[in-house]
Amino acid sequence: MADACHYHSSADAVWHCTGCSKEYCGDCVPGSVDNYYQSTPKCILCNNRLENVGASNKAKPFWQMAPFYFRYAISPGPLTVSAICAVAALAISGLGWLSIFVLVAMLAVVIRYNLLVIEKLASGDLNAPTFGDAQDGRSAAVFARVIGMILVAGGGGALVMSTFGEGATQAYSIALSLLGPAAMIVLALEHSLRAAVNPLKLLHFTLIIGWPYWLLWLSTSAVSAAPGLLLPVVAGKLPVWMLLPLLAFATSYFSIVTSAMMGYICLTRQKKLGVTSQVDDQDYLEEREFDRRKALADASIFLREGRFDEARKTLVSVLRQQPNDIPLNERYYRLLLATDDKKALRELGPHLLERFVTLNQPHKAAELYVATMQSHGAPAIDKSLLRHQIAEALYRQRQFKPALALVNNLHKEDPHYTRLDSAYLLLAKIYMDGFNRTDNSRKLLAFVRSKFPKSAVLGEVKQLEAILAAESAQPA
């Protein structure tokens, strides 16, 4: 099962902090690595460098990926290597003693490519390397290490034979077979002959992988035997000259399949093996958007950890640059609520609510007004227009009680308010829809008609009066 983000349990982890042992998802660490200084995201809590675990964390178990290994080996890079092997095998028959050099060169290319496949998949790169990727000048050195492994294994077998006899030699051969995949993987990952022939290193590797290693061994053994089983099937059906190229192609193809298996099983244990991960990167964000998302993410983490001052500083710093960003303002307001900062709510609350209304988000202002009222009592709003606008949003949300409290005495507290006619109309709607006080609604509507004969809301006043009249005319 994939590791979940420490702060978002429904999201898979993409980053891991070894300092505080926490997992983070892409929302906690937004943007691309290129958005960060020296392309190095750091833990917001302990400032340690984060390790990307996105590819390994999303990796399915080894045994569920069988179709992938065979498809992998028919992508352009592997097919090119297999085709080159077939052509080289076809050419060998006419080169005489030069065929030895061609065979060695072909083996060096195939071995280098297979080790590169293991290395790439282990790091999380699920795309097969191109043939050119393997032409990095290391083929000869890699081939020499493999020859070294064979010589060490052979020398060990001769030593066991001469010292302990035939029975021990058979046990030694079985051990070599069992540890063969581990040796190739260690050689691919550490590029060290000494590590690849160290039995303790190989045993430790099998313990890290666990029981899936033995499934890997069975799978690679079966796939490696495929070319030998294929040859007798086609021997009598194809021209003789085609058999050797076909065998070379099939051997190369199935060797890449087994390498893909080895690389993928390392991907599933990437963290335990200490493999450097291919960064499972997200999209690059423009500076303003990155700053905004990073502030929201960092503030959320700080809040969860109880580090309220740091959360506040993070938000304030970005709000200075982006004062009209709605999510930032909302997160800041909710931070004041969460920290029970009565002084800030009293001084900044109305200003923040007004900002939401100005940004055409009156519904958000209404939500935050109710949240404040429920936990700290109704915030004191001294601007009549703001009270009116929030009351309208509350009415649309069917929050009739707080809407009534905002506009009920507005005419007394601010008799010079220029939109009193509209406020009276809203009050009539609240009484009618929220409290079924139609008598109050009629009085208010009549007052608007008489007090504001040229009001722009008279049309709506008449409509409501007609509705009320129709309701009162209906028999009880």
pLDDT (0 to 100) of residue 88: 84
Report domain extents, the chain: 15-58, 63-267, 419-476
Q: Which helix (H) or strand (E) holds 476?
A: none
Closest to 80 in 3D by CA, of 104, 123, 116, 121: 116
Cα separation of 409 and 339, whole Å? 32
Burial-class residue 232 by CB neighbours within 10 Å (0-12, 13-18, 19+). Answer: exposed
Q: Give bridge partners of residue 55 from the DSSP assignment.
A: none
pLDDT (0 to 100) of residue 395: 95
DSSP string, 219-257: HHHHHHTHHHHHHHHHTTTS-HHHHHHHHHHHHHHHHHH
Which residue, chain included where needed, has tokens 């199935």? Answer: 254
Residue type, 369: Y
Number of residues assigned to the chain: 476
pLDDT (0 to 100) of residue 443: 92
Cα 11 to Cα 78, 143, 223, 301, 303: the distances in Å are 34, 43, 36, 15, 19
Question: In a structure prediction context, what are the per-residue pLDDT tens digits for the chain, which is 476 residues long?
Answer: 568 899 998 888 888 998 888 999 999 999 988 899 888 899 999 999 998 887 777 888 888 999 999 999 999 999 999 999 888 888 776 556 566 777 788 888 888 999 999 999 998 888 999 988 888 877 778 878 888 888 888 888 888 888 888 888 889 898 888 999 999 999 999 988 899 889 999 999 999 999 999 999 999 999 999 888 887 877 777 777 778 888 889 999 999 999 999 999 998 888 788 777 766 667 889 999 999 999 999 999 999 999 999 999 999 999 999 999 999 999 999 999 998 888 888 888 999 999 999 999 999 999 999 999 888 888 888 899 999 999 999 999 999 999 999 999 888 889 999 999 999 999 999 999 999 999 999 999 999 999 998 899 999 999 998 888 888 776 65
Cα 135 to Cα 81, 88, 208, 260: the distances in Å are 11, 17, 32, 19
- Alpha helix (H) residue ranges in 341-383: 342-358, 362-376
pLDDT (0 to 100) of residue 96: 61
Instruction: Give just the sign of the alpha carbon dihedral 320, 323, 328, 331.
Output: positive
